[in-house]
Amino acid sequence: MATTSAATAFALVQSELQTLEQILGEAARPSDPVMGQLLGLVLPGGGKRLRPLLALLWGRSHNHRRERLIPFAAALELLHTATLVHDDIVDEATVRRGEPTLSARVRNSIAVLVGDYLFAQAAAQAVSTDHVGVMRSFTATSMDIITGQIDESMSDGVLTLTQEQYLRRIGGKTAALFALSARGGAMLSDAPERVVFAAEQYGYKLGLAFQIVDDILDVVGDARDLGKPVGSDMRQGVATLPALLVRDQVPTSLFQAAYSGGGKQEESIRLLLETIRSRGGVEGSYAEADRLKADAYACLEVLPHGPVRDALLDLGEFVVQRVK
């Protein structure tokens, strides 16, 4: 299957995305020089800006209020970056997107404060939307995301985690922010409640699909493309859908050895990854992602046919596209 670039989606909001980059660039240059240096290590990022994209597209579902959408898009990307910085501390990750993580470059304690600063910047941008309802959604979602991270990092049930629990976990960790992005965009365009609700559902389902594909990539991806070694989730003790789907087909001892560290962990990870690939863990996960994408598409019925709806369909394809 050919890969898609979501070109339609990006093209529609190209000018807003450029303004967003300017704002993120300014955010990386605060008056304090020490803070500026540190932010310069994380903010350029080179991420895909998927969350801003969602907000900007749903922000065209009714009235297009550019001046409110841009700060909201910035708030989403800053919040996302803040959670990545703190996540890398929690996970003791040393590499992200092919670059050393901030917590690998500077003391952990400094990375804590840089993440805090990004959170505060995100909140400041959310306030700049001047829309109290959106601010409320923003802070509530922030709490959901952090709760999801705590739950992930406190539980160690790779042997007992159910698919339902897995979905709830990636819901908090990833889909909640996708849902906020779409919902907030719709709210800022003064869309009626049923559209706001559909936007939230679309974002949530797409976020789940996105995280599943991300989890698949950790099984089948190329370390160079991923920007981090394959099997990272196992090394961090985080069970994902591809593994859950084959758990019943492998010896418990192998499963445990792959997730719990110890001398034979690397060998066990290699073996378990191979098993996941050969026993349908990858295909089954893609099927689930496709189901979720279809659920997301169904939410688009509230929108008239036209460029915005087309772009959101395009974005869905982009998010769940298969690795060649």
DSSP letter (8 states) at residue 70? H
The answer to the question of residue 253 lying near its own copies (CB under 8 A) is no
Residue 206 near residue 164 (C-beta atoms within 8 A): no
Instruction: Choose the binding region for its own copies from 122-130, 195-203, 251-259, 292-300 (rule: CB under 8 A).
Output: 122-130
- Joined together, the tokens standing for residue 178 give 């996708």
Residue 76 near residue 51 (C-beta atoms within 8 A): yes
Considering beta carbons, is residue 167 or 271 the nearer one to its own copies?
A: 167
Instruction: Choose the binding region for its own copies from 10-18, 49-57, 123-131, 225-233 (rule: CB under 8 A).
Output: 123-131
**CB-count exposure of residue 30 (10 Å: 0-12, 13-18, 19+):** middle
Instruction: Choose the binding region for its own copies from 45-53, 148-156, 157-165, 283-291 (rule: CB under 8 A).
Output: 148-156
Interface residue with its own copies, options 22, 25, 29, 32 (CB under 8 A): 32
Contacts to its own copies from residues 65-84, by CB under 8 A: none
Site for its own copies (CB under 8 A): how many residues? 41
Considering beta carbons, is residue 49 or 86 the nearer one to its own copies?
A: 86
DSSP letter (8 states) at residue 100? E
The answer to the question of residue 142 lying near its own copies (CB under 8 A) is yes
Minimum distance, C-beta of residue 190 to its own copies, in the bound complex (Å): 18
Rounded CA separation 92/103 (Å): 8
Place of tokens 């908090």: 172
The answer to the question of residue 104 lying near its own copies (CB under 8 A) is no
The answer to the question of residue 35 lying near its own copies (CB under 8 A) is yes
DSSP string, 198-251: HHHHHHHHHHHHHHHHHHHHHHH--HHHHTS-TTHHHHTT---HHHHHHGGGS-
Interface residue with its own copies, options 14, 94, 139, 252 (CB under 8 A): 139
Q: What are phi and psi of 99, to 5 degrees?
A: -115, 155
Contacts to its own copies from residues 154-173, by CB under 8 A: 154
Q: Which of 111, 65, 113, 62 is nearest to 91 (CA)?
A: 111
Q: Which helix (H) or strand (E) holds 95?
A: strand 95-96
Minimum distance, C-beta of residue 112 to its own copies, in the bound complex (Å): 5
Residue 26 near residue 277 (C-beta atoms within 8 A): no
Minimum distance, C-beta of residue 126 to its own copies, in the bound complex (Å): 8
The answer to the question of residue 112 lying near its own copies (CB under 8 A) is yes
> What percent of the chain is helix, strand and coil (3-state, nearest 5)?
75, 0, 25
Residue 312 near residue 303 (C-beta atoms within 8 A): yes
Which residues contact residue 124 at a Cβ distance below 8 angstroms, ignoring those fewer than 6 apart? Answer: none
User: What is the pattern of x (binds its own copies, CB under 8 A) and - over residues 277-316?
Assistant: ----------------------------------------
Instruction: Choose the binding region for its own copies from 149-157, 199-207, 235-243, 260-268 (rule: CB under 8 A).
Output: 149-157
Rounded CA separation 20/182 (Å): 17
The answer to the question of residue 135 lying near its own copies (CB under 8 A) is yes
Instruction: Choose the binding region for its own copies from 105-113, 161-169, 204-212, 308-316 (rule: CB under 8 A).
Output: 105-113
Interface residue with its own copies, options 95, 104, 110, 271 (CB under 8 A): 110
Residue numbers at the binding site for its own copies (CB under 8 A): 30, 32, 34-35, 38, 86, 89-92, 108-110, 112-117, 119-121, 123-124, 127, 130, 132, 135-136, 138-140, 142-143, 146-147, 149-151, 153-154
